[in-house]
């Protein structure tokens, strides 16, 4: 295994060794054949095809089944049009403040003024998909100063489990972080002042996009600076001064985001940590390749891991020291980080996603013969295309649920209040296993939880589950609707509506459950096929209005 950049013999190098030119000329035909995969045109074509393939699932679906995505659409729709809408402006208002989680809120509402909302959302998803993928490629180029088809493998991490859950701010922020770190590594030694000034300007932008994106950026450039200083060995006073100068430059970049965090609402929130089990920790360590099929996930994870181990064990791996420092830090932090704190969920699972991109940015195969290279390229291309094809197929089939839901909510009147509930699979495990693949990410979360957002998008009605926490979102719920807000959590189980005495634990999550019949106009039940005898649920209180596939709409009787 070769640690650090490895600059192979090239035509440029041969230009400085005239005695080797003649021999090199005699070998030219063999070199052309042997290094066909190393040609610049091959690399650019491969990159273009990889990125184009990633876009296929977005191109063939109107609303991809990403868990949080419909909620992001609804919130950004409010930011774009809420103040001018005579119905919505009574329910919601903008509430801008220092929030390190607003990338989509800054960009998508502006896109909605140019494109239809659903098209604007898909354009935003393209950014969230391609920016981190190309960022990993750019970071690899900065580390190794060369092209490699292995860099195309970053496409495997593009549809990671957090992207499939709709964590758009996070995905965009880590992509900008990798692009920013690539620029720092590429230009830090040649243009030190301009590089530091650019980083000072970029760091607050990444902070506002997402706090984890900024932390990733700080770790990437910090790892590079540590590597450079460590190589210097600090043997003399001049070396110490050199290290202090570089540390000071890094500190200057961190000042503004640190100040912003200290005055943000997030800093004042209680820690309130929750932890994953060791088994879950191990499972989510591979969440950069997790999607809808556990068996296919296992095939991809074991294939990539086996290839990495093969290269390392046979001395055919080139690894960037700076990337190795970064990956080691990410892994150590992941092992001790809770899954939730400060009101943020899936905290620790974000770190393996960063690690997934770093595998393709900080590692590069070397010394493989032509047969091995062609075999590896062919195998991983087939695997990648199959992965994207599976995701596209799942997304296409999910549009049936979307169409059924939008048809079901047509009777909802503008300005009305809709209580969204779910048929929780714990009550019917057989149905959970039988329901469409597009409705769940195995052992992670359901993907349909926020489809009720369309009561706002299509019908301009209110529902309690919109992302409106004032410490994390730039919108607020106005009175009297504010009393109907739900704490962000898995949705209400529909059978809880039949309880005569609501437990305090449920009231803490859903305060509106007390006397809910007088607070809402409709009840929308999702995953409705899994509920037995739903047509006769609370017949004295609810009247079934419409039912199509995944959704059932009830009018509350007065």
With residues binned 3-state (H G I as helix, E B as strand, rest as coil), the percentages for the chain, rounded to 5, are 60, 10, 30
Angstrom distance (rounded) from CA 183 to CA 181 = 5
> What is the DSSP secondary-structure string of 24-60?
HHHTHHHHHHHTGGG-HHHHHHHHHHHHHHHTHHHHT
238 — pLDDT class (breaks 50, 70, 90):
confident
Residue 432 tokens read as 């959970």
Q: Which of 71-75, 193-197, 479-483, 505-509 has the lowest mean pLDDT?
A: 505-509
Q: Which residue has the higher pLDDT, 492 or 21?
A: 492
Give residue 426's pLDDT. 63
pLDDT tens-digit readout, 345-391: 889 999 999 999 999 999 999 999 999 999 999 999 999 999 999 99
**Do the domain assignments include residue 505?**
yes
Q: What is the pLDDT of residue 278?
A: 86
The pLDDT assigned to 49 comes to 97
Is there a contact between 345 and 337 (Cβ–Cβ < 8 Å)?
no
In a domain, 473, yes or no: yes
pLDDT at 428: 65
Query: What's the confidence (pLDDT) of residue 431?
Result: 72
Q: Per-residue confidence at 271, pLDDT binned at 50, 70, 90?
A: low
Determine, yes or no, domain membership for 456: yes
Average pLDDT over residues 463-473: 86
Of all residues in the chain, what percent carry a pLDDT higher than 70? 91
Confidence of residue 432 (pLDDT cuts 50, 70, 90): confident
Query: Quick one: which H or E segment has residue 447?
Result: none
Per-residue pLDDT of 8-51, as tens digits, reads 333 333 333 444 444 444 444 444 444 677 789 999 999 999 99
- Going by pLDDT thresholds of 50, 70 and 90, the confidence category of residue 340 is confident
Go through the chain and tell me how many residues it has.
558
Least confident of 15-29, 116-130, 262-276, 318-332: 15-29
CB 227 within 8 A of CB 221: no
Backbone angles phi, psi at 455, to 5 degrees: -65, -25
pLDDT digits (tens, 9 = 90+) for 89-103: 999 999 999 999 999
Domain that holds residue 411: 396-556
What's the confidence (pLDDT) of residue 28? 42
For 89-93, the CB contacts below 8 A with 24+ separation are 90/415, 90/478, 91/462, 91/477, 91/478, 91/481, 92/466, 92/468, 92/475, 92/476, 92/477, 92/478, 93/475, 93/476, 93/478
Residue 430 lies in a domain: yes
Average pLDDT over residues 215-225: 98
Domain count, the chain: 1
Structure confidence at residue 344 as a pLDDT band (50, 70, 90) = confident
Q: What's the mean per-residue pLDDT of the chain?
A: 90
Residue 489 within a domain: yes
Burial of 451 (0-12, 13-18, 19+ CB in 10 A): buried
- Residue 397: CA count within 13 A, CB half-sphere: 13
The answer, yes or no, to whether residue 277 has pLDDT greater than 70, is yes
pLDDT at 400: 97
Specify if 448 maps to a domain: yes
- The answer to whether position 536 is within a domain reads yes
- 309 belongs to a structural domain: no
Portion of the chain with pLDDT greater than 90, in percent: 75
């Amino acid at each position: 295994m070769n640690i650090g950049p490895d600059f192979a013999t090239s035509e440029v190098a041969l230009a400085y060794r005239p005695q080797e030119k003649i021999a090199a000329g005699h070998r030219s035909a063999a070199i052309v054949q042997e290094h066909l995969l190393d040609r610049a045109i091959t690399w650019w074509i491969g990159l273009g095809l990889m990125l184009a393939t990633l876009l296929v699932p977005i191109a063939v679906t109107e609303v991809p089944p990403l868990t949080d995505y419909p909620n992001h659409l609804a919130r950004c729709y409010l930011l774009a049009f809420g103040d001018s809408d005579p119905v919505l402006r009574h329910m919601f208002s903008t509430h801008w403040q220092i929030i390190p989680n607003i990338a989509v809120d800054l960009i998508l509402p502006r896109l909605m003024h140019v494109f239809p909302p659903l098209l604007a959302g898909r354009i935003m998803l393209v950014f969230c998909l391609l920016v981190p993928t190309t960022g990993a490629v750019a970071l690899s180029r900065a580390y190794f100063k060369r092209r490699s088809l292995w860099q195309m493998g970053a496409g495997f991490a593009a549809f990671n489990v957090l992207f499939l859950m709709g964590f758009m701010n996070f995905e965009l922020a880590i992509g900008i972080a990798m692009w920013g770190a690539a620029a720092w590594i590429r230009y830090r030694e040649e243009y030190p002042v301009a590089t530091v000034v650019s980083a000072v300007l970029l760091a607050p932008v990444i902070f506002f996009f997402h706090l984890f994106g900024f932390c990733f950026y700080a770790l990437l450039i910090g790892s590079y600076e540590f590597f450079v200083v460590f190589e210097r060995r600090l043997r003399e006073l001049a070396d110490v001064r050199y290290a202090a100068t570089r540390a000071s430059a890094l500190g200057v970049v961190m000042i503004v985001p640190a100040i912003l965090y200290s005055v943000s609402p997030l800093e004042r929130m209680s820690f309130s940590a929750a932890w994953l089990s060791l088994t879950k920790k191990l499972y989510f360590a591979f969440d950069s390749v997790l999607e809808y099929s556990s068996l296919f996930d296992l095939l991809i994870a074991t294939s990539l891991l086996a290839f990495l181990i093969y290269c390392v064990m046979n001395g055919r791996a080139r690894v960037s020291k700076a990337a190795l420092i970064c990956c080691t830090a990410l892994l150590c932090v992941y092992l001790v980080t809770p899954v939730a704190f400060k009101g943020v969920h899936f905290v620790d699972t974000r770190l393996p996603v960063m690690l997934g991109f770093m595998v393709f940015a900080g590692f590069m195969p070397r010394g493989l013969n032509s047969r091995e290279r062609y075999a590896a390229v062919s195998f991983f291309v087939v695997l990648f295309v199959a992965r994207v094809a599976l995701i596209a197929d799942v997304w296409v089939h999910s549009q049936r649920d979307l169409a059924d839901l939008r048809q079901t909510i047509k009777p909802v009147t503008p300005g009305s209040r809709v209580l969204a509930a779910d048929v929780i699979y714990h009550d019917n495990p057989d149905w959970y296993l039988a329901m469409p693949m597009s409705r769940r990410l195995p052992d992670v979360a359901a993907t349909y939880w926020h489809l009720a957002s369309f009561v706002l998008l299509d019908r301009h009605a209110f529902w309690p589950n919109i992302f409106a926490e004032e410490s994390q979102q730039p919108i607020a719920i106005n009175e009297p609707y504010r009393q109907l807000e739900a704490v962000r959590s898995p949705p209400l189980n529909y059978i809880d509506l039949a309880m005569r005495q609501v437990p305090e634990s449920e009231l803490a999550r859903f305060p509106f459950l007390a006397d809910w019949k007088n607070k809402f106009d409709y009840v929308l039940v999702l995953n409705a096929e899994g509920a037995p005898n739903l047509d006769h649920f609370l017949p004295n209180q609810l009247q079934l209005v419409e039912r199509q596939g995944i959704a059932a709409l009830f009018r509350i009787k007065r």
